[in-house]
Amino acid sequence: MSSLLHPETLAASAGVAADDGFNAVSPPLHLSANYFWLDPTEKPQYDYARSGNPTRAHLEEALAALEGAEKGVVTASGMAALDLTLNLVNPGDLVLAPHDCYGGTHRLLSARARRGHFNLAFVNQTDPAALAAAFARKPKLALIETPSNPLLRVTDIAAVVKYAGEVGAVTVADNTFLSPALQRPIDFGCDVVVHSTTKFINGHSDVVGGAVLAKDKALGEALAWWANCTGVTGAPFDSFLTLRGLRTLYPRLQRQQETALEIVEALAADGRVARVFYPGLQNHPGHEIAVRQQAGFGSMFSIEFAQEIDVLELLRRLRVFTIAESLGGFESLVCVPAAMTHAAITPEARAIAGISDRLVRFSVGLEHAGDLTADIFEALNNAGSVGEQTVTRVRQAVGA
């Protein structure tokens, strides 16, 4: 389909009216594991669903078009997508990764490095001196996660790409937090974009999936070869649902980020809030870079409440936000990263990354902004101070 079309049109029309079997308008779900040959000498377009599947192909083509990539591979999860890119390095090669990346990514990279699959350096990529020092070690692969999970640190993609170009490193950007609707790392020179499609791209919290999108066809083919070889490709039904979710990605994110900004502005003005982490705020250290490389600020933010606030009690009192891991769905979620999404990282590594035990992460969904804001303020008003909570707990314990 023409790359001149707007992305909303690409998302809405991917695979529509492509069925030449029965003229189905909506792309059909092909569950078959295998495909018949008309003749033993004529290999069909698809022969075995691990290697290729028409339903998955619609999603791969749509995601590649939206990210400005030449080739896409849909995987069984975001972790499978990240792991797939690690096939691009050899033992002895250095991989650079953000020190405050998603906990599962931190765990995967650390475990593989311990096994000797590659050498690993975690670096604060928002610190220019640290970045320069890290690239002086001539890495072969640099992983970017911007904005980062959970502190929403913004890395200058073009700066990392420039350093990588000087040493011949492959750049891989995890674009899960924004999706192609709000950021296209390939436009800034990245070689590969990775997604947990579980999040905004599917957006309905009913599929775990991932994707790898490559700027160059040859690199994309190499990744597709590894995906088939290791068997990490996504299932047809998951692809079908994810394509259905993708249709509404653009309007969903637009609405979700407007709501997030409204809540963030209300919270930032409250004395019981110590720090707000949201790149849309002008005082966020990455705000200017975000303006340059993002088409919006997204619907994720994190908060450090003042010392006197009992954050666990605050979470317990929320009625519209649901306490859960994951993010990017239609439903608003809240979590304490240190105990949940980033529990796989050691307390020492969390401290280095700046992820405190009191940090609370919010993912804003499609509910009414007024209901979400009221939910947080009511919980904040009723959570009271740590002292009052102790009294409440004692009262509850004695049944008063």
- Which of 27, 104, 280, 384 forms a contact with ligand PLP (CB under 6 A)? 104
SS3 360: strand
When the beta carbons of 161 and 300 are compared against ligand PLP, the nearer one is 300
When the beta carbons of 332 and 389 are compared against ligand PLP, the nearer one is 332
- Minimum CB separation of residue 132 from ligand PLP in Å reads 25
- Which of 61, 83, 100, 174 forms a contact with ligand PLP (CB under 6 A)? 174
When the beta carbons of 102 and 135 are compared against ligand PLP, the nearer one is 102
Binding to ligand PLP, residues 22-41 (CB under 6 A)? none
* Given the residues 71, 199, 252, 350, the one annotated as active site: 199
* Given the residues 100, 174, 191, 238, the one annotated as active site: 174
Q: Is 149 in the site for ligand PLP (CB under 6 A)?
A: yes
Q: Is 102 in the site for ligand PLP (CB under 6 A)?
A: yes
305: β partners: 273
Q: Is 196 in the site for ligand PLP (CB under 6 A)?
A: yes
377, amino acid identity: F
- Which of 54, 65, 67, 77 forms a contact with ligand PLP (CB under 6 A)? 77
- Minimum CB separation of residue 327 from ligand PLP in Å reads 6
| Torsion angles phi and psi, residue 96, rounded to 5 | -100, 135
- Which of 27, 210, 279, 280 forms a contact with ligand PLP (CB under 6 A)? 210
* Rounded-to-integer distance, Cα 326 and Cα 302, Å: 14
Find the helix or strand (DSSP H, E) in which 63 lies: helix 54-67
Q: Is 202 in the site for ligand PLP (CB under 6 A)?
A: no
Q: Is 176 in the site for ligand PLP (CB under 6 A)?
A: yes
Do the beta carbons of residue 233 and residue 75 sit within 8 Å? yes
Could you tell me if residue 198 is left (phi over 0), alpha (psi between -120 and 50 degrees) or otherwise beta? Answer: alpha
> What is the DSSP code string of 146-193?
SS-TTT-----HHHHHHHHHHHT-EEEEE-TTT-TTT--GGGGT-SEE
Nearest residue by C-beta to ligand PLP?
78
CB-count exposure of residue 321 (10 Å: 0-12, 13-18, 19+): buried
Contacts of 65 (CB under 8 A, 6+ apart): 1, 3, 10, 14
What residues line the site for ligand PLP (CB under 6 A)?
77-79, 102, 104-105, 145, 149, 174, 176, 196, 198, 208, 210, 326
